[in-house]
Amino acid sequence: MYPECVGWLFRTQAVLAVSFIACGAGSGVRQGSGPAPAHTPVFTTQDTLPIRGMEAEVSCSDTKLRAGEVRFRWISPPALRKQQALQLTVYKRGFEQGTFVTADLSVDRPRIQLSARALENKNAATAFAGLSVSDSVPPPDSGTMVLKIEGVRPGATYFWRVFINAARPVSTSAMRFEGPICPADLRDEH
């Protein structure tokens, strides 16, 4: 077995194992169209994009009871840093239908923004309620992008991709993860 396959298999098993452990949701979804409105054609291609090492690591919050979070990480050329956004949906065809949220990484403090179609759809807006960016720490001159989002729903399946807002908008293929089920922290009051 190839070493990169072993790493992928380990990360997949870790994500599945963590998804059996309880969480809650916070608040923080912002309204706005974000990059690439639903009517903008976005070309999905993994082969031509210089983005690699895409990972989504789920965990339970250290500071909030029953709160799940996900840490996204990928590597891309530093020249693309200000053109990138992370897009996330709970719908299998959410990207095609325009029901997703975006964290625009071209700004200093990324926020979760609902797409135009998600704003129109009450169920979609509810599905994304509670998501917020808790941390965005890409090293200054590094191509490594890191974004942490909290408020993922327990056991929910999410799809995510990296979006490049260029003259011809492109995105990576969608990847999948499950929200963790995080137990309540029990403290002995003695």
146 contacts: CB under 8 Å, gap ≥ 6: 71, 72, 73, 135, 136, 137, 138
Q: What is the pLDDT of residues 157-169, one digit of tens each?
A: 999 999 998 878 8
- The whole-model pTM stands at 0.71
What pLDDT score does 187 carry?
A: 52
Which span out of 14-28, 33-47, 77-91 was modeled with the highest average pLDDT? 77-91
What pLDDT score does 17 carry?
A: 33
* Beta carbons of 21 and 35 less than 8 angstroms apart: no
What pLDDT score does 144 carry?
A: 86
Mean pLDDT of 97-117: 92
Between the alpha carbon of residue 32 and those of residues 56, 82, 110, 111, 115, the distances in Å are 24, 19, 13, 10, 6
What pLDDT score does 183 carry?
A: 79
* Beta carbons of 19 and 155 less than 8 angstroms apart: yes
What pLDDT score does 173 carry?
A: 93
The H or E element that residue 16 is part of is helix 3-18
Mean pLDDT of 48-65: 87
Statement: residue 28 has pLDDT above 50 = no
